[in-house]
A and B are shown apart, each in its own frame.
Chain A
């Protein structure tokens, strides 16, 4: 154990740097900065990605007592899709075909900067942003982005780093009643209640049942096959080996300790599965997979992804179910609220993004969601309305 002399208060300034892999950081120190909702930036999740996809650089900001802010880095995808910047920034003029540095975990659909709480939080975020921009400029990137941020987190980060907030997505979540699905159904209209009852009845009528287990008990090749079938059906490009590699990485990093798998079976055949992760008081849905060669109209997607996890969450003291960014209509119809997600962009050349264009885009997106999901938007859309009025 080394003993260092007591230093003066001048040592309270931050010190930032770049590490070449996450394993150079202490797990508990990192996770102390990660909130319940920010599971996909937790240490073990990110280590799982490192095991599967290789190490990436990590930005870190330290105060005199330890880590105060940090995030992993990557480059986004180079082909159209959810992590392709021109797609994320559609409708906002700018140099989006150029290379940008991406902050957060690879292919994360929920990002917040792991950062301290309290009076120096703003300074810590600002220092991380300064460090990210310097890193980007040194390597020839046009700037940096952090995508899929909850709107409030994006506004806070953008304010700290002098960046611009651009709405580009939305995610669904459910507040879990103490009584699970029954409690949720009590708040629904009769039509929605009846629909859910008939879907669950159809599931049972087809001879299907649900078994909960831990991901470690699953055969990765079977799980990967089902997940890949689902992803291929909706345009996903990754093959079974890729998914299997991801699951193996999770097993190695220990993140599967937080996992819970809902498996739909007929006799002993697995017909579908959903993989969740518990983190704090939140249950995060990450993967759904199904055997589409079985022509079953048994509503296994809804049973595994909405109905069963509400009961599972309630039984395990969890208060929120996060359902990610896809199929929002189906989620809304089953009680979910839609939350805005924004990207924070900081260009090396400040002239390259027009703030008023971004505001117009955000306002337009707000109107679209208001039109499409009236009564189902979370309260922070009101903040979007007050912040993003182009006439302000």
Chain B
């Protein structure tokens, strides 16, 4: 992530942490991600772009072994450190990826990160970094902007979220700017992101060394069917703004 892209998060730590309680994350994204991750007992985990460290804390609390949170944004990482030392001690938070982290992790999680690659080469580098942190056979789970997100500005507003493509006529162009705004409970913040198509994401992850790619739509794991989910979440579930991609790092050739 470029320095400019990282810097835009410096003031957003508390607001970002608050989003964990917003229904589209609390009822849909977070349980979907935790379900996709499964048992983490004893696993070494790197939370790539950890932000306030919420997933790092939860994974540590669920029995993960070594947990490292990486985020280049000092403001986010300060929140992460302060909160984790009270609630989930033993997580290490870093602002840069040092060479000794390469190939060390069973699981790399990257939630809402790939959209902050602002160019094709940067997307490629970011994917290579994520995959390179995995031991051979290790898993990557990442949540980019959904390639088929609803580009109408107002679509996600009821969820406290607004996605505005720079070019409303062509919202699904690779590298196209998307402004993401968060607004709820009197707090508001916005960041600039980039749209990446499914093909671009698959290509970048594949070139980074990820194999067996799977796409998983977000759902409400507590509900057996869409119809059983709370009514106010239906619109989000029909067009979630994010999606899970997972895969494994290819085992090195013998």
Q: Give the B-binding residues of A (Cβ under 8 A).
A: 1-7, 11, 26, 28-29, 31-36, 42, 63-68, 116-120, 257-258, 278-280
Which residues of chain A are within 8 angstroms of B205 by Cβ–Cβ distance? none
Give the contacting residue for A33; candidates B78, B83, B184, B188; CB below 8 A: B78
- Contact A2–B185 (Cβ < 8 Å): yes
Q: Say whether B193 faces chain A, with CB atoms less than 8 Å apart.
A: no
Interface string of B52-86 (1 = CB under 8 A from A): 10000000000000000000011100110111011
24 contacts between A and B (CB under 8 A): A1-B185, A2-B184, A3-B158, A4-B185, A4-B188, A6-B157, A6-B181, A28-B17, A28-B82, A28-B83, A32-B78, A32-B83, A34-B82, A63-B11, A65-B11, A66-B14, A66-B15, A117-B74, A117-B75, A117-B78, A118-B7, A118-B74, A119-B10, A120-B10
Which residues of chain A are within 8 angstroms of B81 by Cβ–Cβ distance? 36, 280
Bound Cα distance A36, B78 (Å): 9
Bound Cα distance A280, B93 (Å): 10
Bound Cα distance A66, B13 (Å): 8
Can you add 7 more A-B contacts, CB < 8 Å, to A4-B184, A33-B78?
A2-B186, A6-B157, A6-B162, A11-B188, A32-B79, A65-B187, A257-B86
Give the contacting residue for A118; candidates B10, B182, B184; CB below 8 A: B10
Bound Cα distance A65, B73 (Å): 16
**Chain A min CB distance to B156 (Å):** 11
Q: Say whether B42 faces chain A, with CB atoms less than 8 Å apart.
A: no
Interface string of B174-213 (1 = CB under 8 A from A): 0000000111111111000000000000000000000000
Q: Say whether B117 faces chain A, with CB atoms less than 8 Å apart.
A: no
Q: Say whether B160 faces chain A, with CB atoms less than 8 Å apart.
A: yes
Which residues of chain B are within 8 angstroms of A68 by Cβ–Cβ distance? 11
- Contact B85–A279 (Cβ < 8 Å): yes
Which residues of chain A are within 8 angstroms of B186 by Cβ–Cβ distance? 2, 4
- Contact A65–B189 (Cβ < 8 Å): yes
- Contact B10–A116 (Cβ < 8 Å): yes
**Chain A min CB distance to B102 (Å):** 21
Which residues of chain B are within 8 angstroms of A64 by Cβ–Cβ distance? 187-189
Bound Cα distance A51, B174 (Å): 56
Give the contacting residue for B11; candidates A5, A7, A36, A116; CB below 8 A: A116
Main secondary structure of the interface of A (DSSP, over half): loop
Closest chain A residue to B162, Cβ basis:
A6
Q: Say whether B127 faces chain A, with CB atoms less than 8 Å apart.
A: no
**Chain A min CB distance to B20 (Å):** 12
Which residues of chain B are within 8 angstroms of A42 by Cβ–Cβ distance? 82
Q: Say whether B12 faces chain A, with CB atoms less than 8 Å apart.
A: yes
- Contact B82–A31 (Cβ < 8 Å): yes
Closest chain B residue to A65, Cβ basis:
B189
Q: How large is the interface on B (under 10, 10 to 19, 20 to 34, 35 or more residues)?
A: 20 to 34
Question: A-B pairs with the 5 shortest C-beta distances?
Answer: A118-B10, A65-B189, A32-B79, A31-B82, A66-B14
**Chain B min CB distance to A318 (Å):** 11
Given contacts A65-B188, A65-B189, A120-B11, contact A280 B85 (CB under 8 A): yes
Bound Cα distance A42, B83 (Å): 12
Closest chain B residue to A281, Cβ basis:
B81
Which residues of chain A are within 8 angstroms of B86 by Cβ–Cβ distance? 257
**Chain A min CB distance to B58 (Å):** 15
Bound Cα distance A117, B75 (Å): 5
Bound Cα distance A258, B87 (Å): 12
Closest chain A residue to B23, Cβ basis:
A1
Which residues of chain B are within 8 angstroms of A11 by Cβ–Cβ distance? 188
Closest chain A residue to B18, Cβ basis:
A66
Give the contacting residue for A119; candidates B7, B22, B79, B187; CB below 8 A: B7
Bound Cα distance A280, B74 (Å): 14
Give the contacting residue for B188; candidates A7, A32, A36, A279; CB below 8 A: A7
- Contact A32–B14 (Cβ < 8 Å): yes
Which residues of chain B are within 8 angstroms of A258 by Cβ–Cβ distance? 85
Interface string of B131-156 (1 = CB under 8 A from A): 00000000000000000000000000
Which residues of chain B are within 8 angstroms of A119 by Cβ–Cβ distance? 7, 10
Closest chain B residue to A8, Cβ basis:
B188
**Chain B min CB distance to A280 (Å):** 6
- Contact A34–B78 (Cβ < 8 Å): yes
- Contact A116–B189 (Cβ < 8 Å): no
**Chain B min CB distance to A45 (Å):** 12
**Chain A min CB distance to B88 (Å):** 13
- Contact A65–B12 (Cβ < 8 Å): yes
- Contact B14–A28 (Cβ < 8 Å): yes
- Which of A28, A63, A68 has the most CB atoms of chain B within a 10 A radius of its CB? A28
Bound Cα distance A119, B83 (Å): 23
Which residues of chain A are within 8 angstroms of B187 by Cβ–Cβ distance? 64-66
Bound Cα distance A5, B181 (Å): 12
Q: Within residues 1 to 37 of chain B, which ones have a CB less than 8 A from any CB in chain A?
A: 7, 10-15, 17, 21-22
Q: Within residues 217 to 251 of chain B, which ones have a CB less than 8 A from any CB in chain A?
A: none
- Which of A1, A11, A42, A67 has the most CB atoms of chain B within a 10 A radius of its CB? A1
Which residues of chain A are within 8 angstroms of B183 by Cβ–Cβ distance? 4-7
**Chain B min CB distance to A3 (Å):** 6
Closest chain B residue to A33, Cβ basis:
B78
**Chain B min CB distance to A181 (Å):** 24
Which residues of chain A are within 8 angstroms of B182 by Cβ–Cβ distance? 65
